[in-house]
Amino acid sequence: MPEVFALKLAGPAGSGILSAGETLLRAFVKTGYYAQGYPEYPSLIKGGHNTYLITVSENPFPNNSPKIDLFLALTRTALNNEHNNINENTQVVADLSLKADHEHKKLYQPALLDIAKTAGNPLTLNTVMIGFATHQLQLNRELVWEILQEGFGDKSQTLLEQNKQAFDLALELSKQFFLDLTLPKQNNQNHHLILNGSQGVGLGAIAAGVNLYAGYPMTPSSPLLHFMAAHQTEFNYLVRQTEDEICAINLITGASFAGAKAMTGTSGGGFALMEEGISLAAMLETPVVIYLAMRPGPATGLPTWTSQSDLLFAINAGHGEFPKIVLAPSDPTECYLLVHCAFSLSQTYHCPVIILSDKYLAENNYSIPNLPPLETVPLSATSPNPKGDDMYSRYQFTPNGIHPRSLPGMPGGEYLANSDEHDQTGLIDESAQTRQENNQRRLHRLTEIKRNIPLPEVNGKGDKAIISWGSHKYIAQEVASHLGLAHIHFNHLWPLPTGLDKLLGTYKQLISIENNETHQLARLLRQETGLEIQIQLGEDLGRPLNPTELTTQIKKL
Amino acid sequence: MINLDTKIFPTWCPGCGDFGIWAALKGALQKLNLQTHEFVMVYDIGCSGNMASNIKAYGFHGLHGRAIPAATGIKLANHRQKVIVIGGDGGLLGEGMAHFVSACRANMDITVILHNNQVYGLTTGQSSPTSMKGTKGKATPLGVVEQPVEPCAFALLSGASFVARTFAGTIPESTEIFTSAITHSGFSLIEVLQPCVTFNKLNTYDWFRQRIKPLTQTPTDVYEAISKARWTDQDIFTGIFRNDETALPYHKTFEILKEKTLIQHSEKRDLTKYIHDWVE
């Protein structure tokens, strides 16, 4: 039995590749496999080349398999584009009408399109693929049909009947083909939830008690915008699609000032527009949570692809010097927990918290264990005791630099949240003394935060370690496990915790793995600890890093 | 009467139109008998926004051009608060134009007091989006080529439900109009003709007094309102161009804001069906 099995579906945008992939992924997980599903697509609506890769494994959190066992192609383009990912053992299924190369040794050509036509609707082609695969993968047909049906929601009865016919016919046709497929063990006892990173982030925000989410569409942050919008009525919060990202960040800062737990989300270009607002939120000491889903830049870059190239950008975002927190979850479970934590940290430290994700994490569908219920994050505001005619000393000096805030509506709490340097009540004050006291008070918070940030997670033993962050946890873990090395994984990226230099100093050799070209984490670690990461690996091709290639690369060193 | 003064006296030039607006605003707030915790002042950046340190109330002095988004956030979080924006032609109609239009379109329930002095004063005299054609500014020494933005006509076209113009030199009239605007439910814009005595030598108090004519009656429809709101070589009308109480403000379209404000929705959320077993 193989450890992993990979199935790839490929076809033009609009042909239902993504929904077919998700249906099969659900069927695998419900059957008892560990599995994950990753969509890749260009930035267009119809045509092009979309793929959905399902990696089935005997172990939890499999990475995208570089080796495809079963390839289902709808078009000639699909066959051409995936040529490099197909090897001599790949079972290739292409429609009978396609002129396929005979170089594919294991080529099967059922008349899939004909079935869709017989069913009376060419759009049932994705159902035909599912039906064909269901038999070959020995999935339970009732189970698969049930999942498929759920996906149709309340679409018309005719459509449902056409799809049922397509499904049944494809399944029968499939019986005439004898593909050579072996699946891994069904070891999944505890992963009963399928979530992508975007959903994890959304659920974390809802659990934390988000009142307002504002955003402007931008891939790959839009799935979160859609998720938040879809659930607003159910959970009594508001979503506003703003005219731009600048509005979004200023709007949530205003809302937070007035007592809302508020959040925005964007990708690199939009985040660049938000920077002045991030600086503002920090100056006003108003809690905000910002979700940044990375994609490759510069500029528009590769809009629908993945990258880890905005780490230092996020950490250094905004003009002036001020405290902020940057967290980078590694899977949907951590998305859920760390976003909840982000709300809590922002309420505690009155500063911006950035959640750093990327297209890979945002859109990869993971099978994970059920998530724990969480309490609503309490709002950090207290009703002051009115004192005569003075304004409230909202920015009064305290040992840890944080003073309780008041909210509009609270008598005696009147203060000015002032973008200009200010006195304790917020009124403008440009004196050198006030400037120094206030600036140092704000920045002192970083020292406080550092003490409360956990050290990175360490797995495995030895004096050599692989270092990774965010979405690349399981990729780095696979490399470390192949090579028998320790693995240090970061999900709290800024500020880095106290004691990190001591931890890293115990290793003779450190190898960083990042999905960017300039080894940003390695540079950050050197900046903060003075330690050199001896081997710095990574690239930014729009695709998540390949653990097999990395392992080979490290072995050769 | 509530005290709205802070320990800081305004830093505007002697004779600045902003003094008249400040006085009229305080007059309106006192007339409405609002307590200092019952409204939020949101200030843009510029001479107008420097009023931030001169009004004792909850205040938000944000970024240049971004007062309207912040005001929108405050209103959505707690719609029981009156939210008043103080800003100039540079911030609100330059960098902030997209936000201005968006808030008009949404009929967001905020009051925008636009100090229109047709110049960037605090940055010492560059031309602004409302500068008249040919105006020579420090950054446009050859004269402004562009057509000026007309905020009242623009707001009317974009769906604002209360649009008015007043003159910084007539405090009683401004007080009256501010009072109506703050009471109005929906987006209200008051363009205040505000002479800048230091950097705008063209649009002076005298220049305005020769052209200002009070509206004798409120226009009956938006098109008439737009035509009255436009400046001509001879006439600049002041008064209320539109006051439509039937237009639903943005926040009133949401069921969840009927009984409670957004921030009063603080109940624990039961996510069981999403975090146990299958998500849709």
Q: Are residues A69 and A118 in the same domain?
A: yes
- Distance CA(B214)–CA(B174), nearest Å, equals 12
Any CB–CB contact under 8 A between A302 and chain B?
A: no
Q: Are residues A443 and A486 in the same domain?
A: no
- Nearest-Cα distance to chain A for B220, in Å, is 31
Q: Are residues A116 and A243 in the same domain?
A: no
Q: Is A183 inside a domain boundary?
A: no
Chain B residues within an 8 Å CB radius of A373: 270-272, 275
Q: What is the DSSP letter of A123?
A: G
HEC per residue, A466-502? EEEEHHHHHHHHHHHHHHCCEEEEECEEECCCCCHHH
Cross-chain residue pair B279–A193, CB shorter than 8 Å: yes
Chain A residues within an 8 Å CB radius of B265: 211, 236-237
Query: Which stretches of A339-440 are assigned E, i.e. beta strand?
Result: 352-358, 365-368, 416-418
Q: Are residues A448 and A468 in the same domain?
A: no
Burial class (CB within 10 angstroms; exposed 0-12, middle 13-18, buried 19+) of B185: middle
Q: Are residues A19 and A167 in the same domain?
A: yes
Q: Are residues A509 and A404 in the same domain?
A: no
Residues of chain A where predicted confidence (pLDDT) is lower than 50: none
For residues A91 and A110, the answer to whether their CB atoms sit within 8 Å is no
Any CB–CB contact under 8 A between A537 and chain B?
A: no
Number of domains comprising chain A: 4
Residue of A154, A190, A211, A285 to mutate for B, most B C-beta atoms under 10 A: A211
Chain A residues within an 8 Å CB radius of B78: 258-260, 407-409
- Nearest-Cα distance to chain B for A417, in Å, is 5
Return the pLDDT at A86.
87
Return the pLDDT at A47.
76
Return the pLDDT at B279.
46
Return the pLDDT at A155.
76
Return the pLDDT at A102.
61
Any CB–CB contact under 8 A between A192 and chain B?
A: yes
Write the ipTM.
0.98
A4: tokens are 């992993």
Residue of A nearest to B71 (CA): A254
Question: What range does the domain containing A83 cover?
Answer: 4-174
Q: Which of A144, A174, A204 is the last residue of a domain?
A: A174
pTM here? 0.97
Q: Is A436 inside a domain boundary?
A: yes
Return the pLDDT at B280.
43
- Nearest-Cα distance to chain B for A16, in Å, is 17
Q: Are residues A436 and A469 in the same domain?
A: no
Domain B17-250: which CATH class? alpha beta
List, for residues A214-236, the tens digit of each pLDDT value. Answer: 999 999 999 999 999 999 999 99
Cross-chain residue pair B280–A150, CB shorter than 8 Å: yes
Chain A residues within an 8 Å CB radius of B269: 206-207, 209, 235, 376
SS3 of A133, please?
helix
Size of interface A-B (CB pairs under 8 A): 210
Q: Are residues A211 and A164 in the same domain?
A: no
Residues of chain B where predicted confidence (pLDDT) is lower than 50: 279-280
Q: Is A376 inside a domain boundary?
A: no
Any CB–CB contact under 8 A between A237 and chain B?
A: yes
Return the pLDDT at A46.
76
Q: What is the CATH number of the domain that holds A332?
A: 3.40.50.970
Q: How many CB atoms lie within 10 A of CB B275?
A: 22
Return the pLDDT at A77.
86
Tell me the residues of chain A between 419 and 438 that have a Cβ less than 8 Å away from chain B: 419-420, 426-428
- Distance CA(B29)–CA(B179), nearest Å, equals 7
Of the partner residues A242, A243, A250, the one whose CB lies closest to the CB of residue B62: A250
